[in-house]
Chains A and B, each alone.
Chain A
Amino acid sequence: MSSSKQALAHAASADAAPGDQPGAAGRAHGRGTPPEPGPDSWRSRLYRWDMKASPYAFIAPFFIVFGAFSLVPLLYTAWYSLHNVQLSNLDGQTWTGLDNYQNLLSSDFFWNALWNTFTIGVISTVPQLLMAIGLAHLLNYKLRGSTVWRVVMLTPYATSVAAATLVFVLLYSWDGGMINWLLEFVGIDPVNWRESDWGSQFAVSSIVIWRWTGYNALIYLAAMQAIPADLYESAAIDGASRWQQFLHVTIPQLRPTILFTVVVSTIGATQLFGEPLLFGGVSGSKGGSEHQYQTLGLYMYDQGWIIGNLGKASAIAWSMFLILLIVAVIQLLVSRRLRKSQ
């Protein structure tokens, strides 16, 4: 594509940089000469072709990458999910129809993983978004060093899942761990964060909360700053207290942003993987001795790369996607209903 364009660029050496003096002629080729009017002129034909094709050329890299590494694999994953594909015997794929899916539906581990994904998703998302709104509200005040506060709240976001989880594993360790030590300090019995059901799920969720609360707070903050000030003015004139203003002006105005963060967090929660994997240590893909924090993402990795059943892993991936779509549709419907009821 580039050779013809370069030729054209050569022919019309118009310098489009802003602030250039339009009269500064003196270049070899007629600056400011529009393409020849005659329809047969090769230059005008080239020009029209360029106009037509360039948008597609510009979006092509994205769609090639997306097509080759997301869309086509997504379809192949569906295809593999209908086959028996073993890591140990990649060439011996056989058609099995819906066996992998039936296998999943009758597997306790699948339902366990689905339930864990749901509970960890709720424990990690709900407090996180509530705290983020509160934090954004505070950051929205006129603050000394407002940028510093914002950057500090965002530092956990710079910490990778792996690094963060390695630290939290140590903080949550059964004896000698910082958190149990602090609990003992205030007279609470130490919790076995690795083995207990709710304890381990809470611990895994807390890593998510730690990493993402500041990020979401910034998103809410940006939306809060965009709320027209007259809304607060008229509320103040009507005698609304600060709390009432927050409840009846800020929150309703934030609704699209809240929906956005809920959807994004749901997507993140559905594919939760790194935190429970590293929280589990050596046999991380099992999600604890009783699979008490094995999420769908973890279950997929375990089935695919530890046990070596890539066909089943594909079926898990697609189930995950379908569940995500269903949840997203429900969220959209609920938000629409909420908007109507107001």
Chain B
Amino acid sequence: MSTGELMTPQTSKGTAASKPRRERTRVMGAGKQLHAGPLTYVVLTVFALVSLAPLVWTAIAASRTDRRLAQTPPPLWFGGNLFKNMERAWEEGGLGTAMFNTTFVAATITISTVVFATLAGFAFAKLRFRFSGLLLMLTIGTMMVPPQLAVVPLYLWMADLGWSNQLQTVILPTLCTAFGTFFMRQYLLQALPTELIEAARVDGASSLRVVWHVVFPAARPAMAVLGLLTFVFAWNDFLWPIIALNQENPTVQVALNSLGTGYVPDQAVIMAGALLGTLPLLIAFLLFGKQIVGGIMQGAVKG
């Protein structure tokens, strides 16, 4: 697979003219270059509706009352209780605390993952050192290990440290990820010319200077994308947070889990909670959807 093209799946439209091979295929009519027919749009619309309908219906249900939700037929349009239900989810359901906690947790994890993953990715992509191949294999291999393999000891240690219900318990284990490291390595492999590093070296620059003045500027686009992906991941992390935390000091997912297990027995409030807990990410998708899509397509092909 030619990696040059994989790097920029997003821009393939724009660069089509500059790539003679792609230009030619448009004439021959293959793959992407074919215009979509009406049937394609119909099928895509069905997929889009199925993707969006549950989210829209969450908002509809969140604007109704518990009693109305128990009746048939289910409501198909908005009612007038959205803000009342959201307020109850915020106060009684603990979503208020949860949103603040999760913002803090996700932001911390995002910043540290992006920095550490860039450093490690740079080392794996451009520096020569003993066992680098083996260590890279190990890094990739760690992605296969289910989180269940770690939670029992982690739980016991956190209990020993008296850390139960404290946010650092869910921050520390995710300060850097194998995915992030691999993602940055793949990007820097091509985006960072080795000559640039060598030139800096000849000038006598130390490694830290090289990182600051050469690596970070070159890595910036990928760092932004990794940041978005990491934020989504951290916001939605489930297994370890529901073991480590409880409703006294919840993250969003912990609060939603509590709602689901009868903490506030009111379906409309539960839906309002689900809506609140998803809203920040939906806004992020609205603003940065293109970058997130590009990041997934980049990261995936190389995985």
Contact = CB atoms under 8 A, between A and B. Distances in A.
A125 to B, nearest CB: 16
Contacts of A71: 142
A236 B34 CA distance: 13
Contact of B297 (A32, A66, A219): A219
A314 B154 CA distance: 12
A320 B261 contact: no
Contact of B204 (A12, A69, A273): A12
B214 A51 contact: no
A273 B149 CA distance: 13
A152 B51 CA distance: 7
A257 B301 contact: yes
A32 B36 contact: no
A229 B31 contact: yes
Interface string A1-45: 010011011011011111000000000000111110000000000
A181 interface: yes
B61 interface: yes
Interface string B1-21: 110011001101100000001
A121 interface: no
Interface string B118-161: 01101110011100100100010011111111111111100100
A240 to B, nearest CB: 10
Interface in A55-96: 55-59, 61-63, 65-66, 68-74, 76-77, 80, 85, 90
A11 B203 CA distance: 11
A243 interface: no
Interface stretch (A106-114, A158-166, A192-200): A158-166
A160 B253 contact: yes
Interface in B201-219: 202-211, 213-214, 217
B32 A225 contact: yes
Interface in A194-242: 210, 213-215, 218-219, 221-230, 232-233, 235-236
B153 A73 contact: yes
Contacts of B204: 11-12, 14, 32-35, 47
B200 interface: yes
B99 interface: no
B82 to A, nearest CB: 15
A271 B143 CA distance: 13
Interface residues of B, number: 129
B214 A324 contact: no
A278 interface: yes
B290 interface: yes
Contacts of A250: 31
A56 B152 CA distance: 30
Interface string B236-275: 1011000100000000110011011110000100110111
Contacts of B278: 158-160, 163
Given A160-B277, A178-B57, A321-B146, A166 B259 contact: yes
Interface of B is mostly: helix
Contacts of B275: 163
Interface in A137-168: 138-144, 146-147, 149-168
Contact of A229 (B22, B159, B271): B22
B289 A161 contact: no
A304 interface: yes
B277 A155 contact: no
B25 to A, nearest CB: 4
A135 to B, nearest CB: 6
B206 A12 contact: yes
A171 B57 contact: yes
Contact of B257 (A62, A162, A225, A324): A162
A167 B153 contact: no
Interface of B: 1-2, 5-6, 9-10, 12-13, 21-22, 24-25, 28-36, 40-41, 43-44, 47-48, 50-52, 54-55, 57-58, 61, 69-74, 116-117, 119-120, 122-124, 127-129, 132, 135, 139, 142-156, 159, 172-176, 178, 181, 196, 199-200, 202-211, 213-214, 217, 232, 235-236, 238-239, 243, 252-253, 256-257, 259-262, 267, 270-271, 273-275, 277-278, 281-282, 284-285, 289-290, 292-293, 296-298, 300-301, 303
Interface of A: 2, 5-6, 8-9, 11-12, 14-18, 31-35, 47, 50-52, 54-59, 61-63, 65-66, 68-74, 76-77, 80, 85, 90, 135, 138-144, 146-147, 149-171, 175-178, 181, 210, 213-215, 218-219, 221-230, 232-233, 235-236, 245, 250, 256-257, 260, 264, 267, 270-271, 273-274, 277-278, 281-282, 284, 297, 300-301, 304-305, 310, 313-314, 316-318, 320-321, 324-325, 328
29 contacts: A11-B204, A31-B203, A50-B206, A55-B127, A62-B139, A73-B151, A74-B150, A80-B152, A142-B36, A154-B292, A155-B282, A159-B281, A160-B253, A163-B274, A165-B260, A166-B260, A166-B271, A166-B274, A170-B61, A175-B72, A181-B72, A219-B297, A227-B31, A274-B238, A278-B260, A282-B261, A297-B239, A317-B152, A325-B144
Given A16-B213, A32-B203, A167-B57, 18 more contacts: A2-B208, A11-B204, A12-B205, A17-B213, A55-B128, A55-B132, A69-B173, A73-B151, A76-B152, A77-B152, A159-B281, A170-B270, A176-B72, A176-B73, A226-B2, A236-B28, A320-B146, A320-B148
